[in-house]
Structure 1
Amino acid sequence: MALQDTIWERFLSPIVRFFINEDELRRYADSIDWQKESDRFRRPDVTIPTYYSQQNFHGIEGGYLNSGAAVTYDPVTQYVLPPNETLVRQGLLDRIRVKPRRILDLGCGTGSTTLMLKQAFPQAEVIGLDLSPYMLVRAEDKAKKTGLNIQWQHGNAEHTGFPDASFDLVTASLLFHETPPAVTQAILLECFRLLTVGGEVLILDGSQKTLRNLDWLNNIFEEPYIRDFAAGSVDAWMGKAGFEAVQTDEIWGIHQVTRGVKPLMQETGDRRQETGEDALLGEWIPAPGY
């Protein structure tokens, strides 16, 4: 895992390393057969897109497709999500209004938000999906240590392969600033397809307003698509995908959570019509709690 000569690596990474027990991380990394464990998750039908495989994230060559990223992600992230990583992720959970039976966490990484979702909704089936099998190895290990039953799956958030209307809740944390705008829109369209009517999508990420006003932040973290993310609007992207009741809330002025609901009615041409599913279920489905 080659490190790049970046602002992060030259100035901030040494500070973060001061607070991290690198010996402990090495022992953990050496305790796992990463090739064997990642192969358990790796699916031959999953094609890694070039926007993901040919870019460096956080100045690390190869991004998340290596064991080093899986080992270091958690200890580093706790210092780059002020004021507190758990509080920031809790901001997403606090805005959930449905009582989900089936939850999909897209771009789950090492499963930090996924675990919190399972803890908040213990009766729900929870699935974490990510493009990196290495991150899934770490996520599974964390879930086992906390006794949480979560399904981890290798896959692409643009086309997950799950059936239509198979989830009540779809979430994504810290994903969209790492995807090109066209991919972001494709992911939201996939979220719309996956949700039942009245189901919710919640997106946690950096505050687009703050990132626009403080462009120097984009230089620090050196994410390849973060300026496109900052220039856009998750609200607008959700609306374009068909979601309604879209609302973005700022968290600590640094992060944002955007929530949208799949409506009972969908736009078709210049008029609104019920989907086949809605026509059958519309009379008895209660209004979503928002």
Structure 2
Amino acid sequence: MDSKLGHGLDLVKTQDQIYKEKFVSSLRAYVLNDLASDMRQDFEKNVACENDFLDGFEVHKAMKGREIFSRYSSIRCAAQEMVWGSVIDEVNDNIEFLEAQVKSYSNQAEGSLVLDPDFEFPKYYTSLDVHLMPGNYEGRVKGANSLSGAVYDNGFNVFAFGAMGKQFNDIGMSMANCVRLKFPDLLPEVIVDVGCTIGHNTLPWKETFPSAEVYGLDLAGPCLQYAHARAEAMNIKAHFRQASAQELPFDDESVDIVFSSMFLHEMPVKEIRKFMDEAFRVLKKGGVMFHMELPPNDSLTPYDAFYLDWDSYYNNEPFYKTFRDLGYRDLCSTAGFQEKSFFESVMPRFTYVSEDVFEAAVSADASFDENTGRLSDSIQWYGFGSRKD
């Protein structure tokens, strides 16, 4: 991994801090590649041969008593906490610099930022620190309350261990180009990324569709402040708004694309359904709703479902499994989309392969294997959605 983020909000880091980041990033890569492979081999050699599993929940029960699972889970949890611990001091050491840069970029902005000082946060959001990130997306970390976006940006660099592109934007680049190739007749004027955090996957939509107005929405004001400054630092015009997914701040039939990435699983089912209803409401006829997520459990082998559901039990993401047990097609059709308009895609990372390879994957029927959605050196992204008739 490169400790530099490649934009005007880069921190000044000591050698010790850089080495700490690289150690934690390497540890995560070891856990999610090597140790995960060892755990699968143990399952296939010692567990699968003696049992006929129906789903991931049954695999989980069987694996909980295995030494390799305990080792994997312990190290992965420790590494996750170390991700944030490796960068919080860096942010605190650079607070004056960051505040000055955020202010400077805001003053010369091409895009826009709208925050609501009276915004009311839902209880499911305030009740836990998602991803074991201290203070959640809002901050609430001593000395870095207003700069949780910087904690997230630098922490995500450590977290991703080089698997998500140069600007950690490969999900956004992959999803945007998937839509471009699947719907060549779609010429979007307004694109909305819901649950945008700091805009890693928002800005690729502007890069892919430069004539569109691109909006990033999120609950977390500090992340949006950072997202706006980051976009300006990268000379990409985008608009950021503090808003709820359940009350999108757009008129009926005024949006061409509603997008989200790794967002749905952070909400209870009833809130997901409200968001789906809102997406249908704001989309124009011919508009596209597209969500990057992990694939549904019923599309995977019991072991792969178990592996991807790990976060629901051990990474402060309690809604993860409940969401992935849903039928994604039904989620879309219940919101008003025609069943025939449902689509899903499994694709390689756009910024790592040629256009021909990527286009072939996007045009093919979705097929699933152990690399689908699994953060590793061989990851393939999954997305699903519908087009409004």
Q: 1:161 to 1:217 in 2, by over 3 A?
A: closer
The match for 2:116 is 43
Cα distance between partner residues in 1 of 2:217 and 2:75: 28
Q: Show CA shifts across 1:75-131 (max 9, x none).
A: 333455584243333221122122201111111110111111111111111111111
Cα distance between partner residues in 1 of 2:294 and 2:310: 14
Question: Is the partner of 1:137 in helix, strand or coil?
Answer: helix
Find the partner of 2:331 among 204, 212, 237. 237
The answer to whether the 8 A contact 1:169-1:195 is kept is yes
Tell whether 2:13 aligns with 1:13: no
The answer to whether the 8 A contact 1:43-1:154 is kept is yes
Query: Aligned partner of 2:388: which letter?
Result: K
Query: Whose radius of gyration is greater, 1 or 2?
Result: 2
Q: 1:21 to 1:28 in 2, by over 3 A?
A: same
The match for 1:213 is 306
The match for 1:89 is 172
| Larger relative strand fraction | 1
Percent identity of equivalent pairs: 24
Cα distance between partner residues in 2 of 1:47 and 1:22: 26
Tell whether 2:129 aligns with 1:56: yes
The match for 1:256 is 382
| Larger relative helix fraction | 2
Root-mean-square deviation (CA, aligned residues, Å) is 3.0
Deviation of the 1:147 alpha carbon: 1.1
Find the partner of 1:153 among 223, 236, 241. 241
Q: 1:28 to 1:246 in 2, by over 3 A?
A: farther
Spell out the pairing of 1:248-287 with structure 2 (5 A cutoff). 248-251=344-347, 252-254=371-373, 255-263=381-389
The match for 2:13 is none
Gaps of 5+ in 2: 1-72, 107-112, 140-145, 348-370, 374-380
Deviation of the 1:24 alpha carbon: 4.7
Scaled by the length of structure 1, the TM-score of the pair is 0.77
Tell whether 2:253 aligns with 1:165: yes
Gaps of 5+ in 1: 1-5, 264-290
Spell out the pairing of 1:114-193 with structure 2 (5 A cutoff). 114-193=202-281
Find the partner of 1:71 among 147, 150, 161. 150
Query: Aligned partner of 1:74: which letter?
Result: D
Query: Aligned partner of 1:228: which letter?
Result: T
Number of paired residues?
Answer: 255
The answer to whether the 8 A contact 2:268-2:319 is kept is yes
Question: Is the partner of 1:118 in helix, strand or coil?
Answer: helix
Tell whether 2:226 aligns with 1:226: no
Q: Show CA shifts across 1:139-164 (max 9, x none).
A: 01111111112111111111023110
Question: Is the partner of 2:116 in helix, strand or coil?
Answer: coil
Cα distance between partner residues in 1 of 2:255 and 2:231: 21
Scaled by the length of structure 2, the TM-score of the pair is 0.59
Question: Is the partner of 2:178 in helix, strand or coil?
Answer: coil
The answer to whether the 8 A contact 2:80-2:132 is kept is no
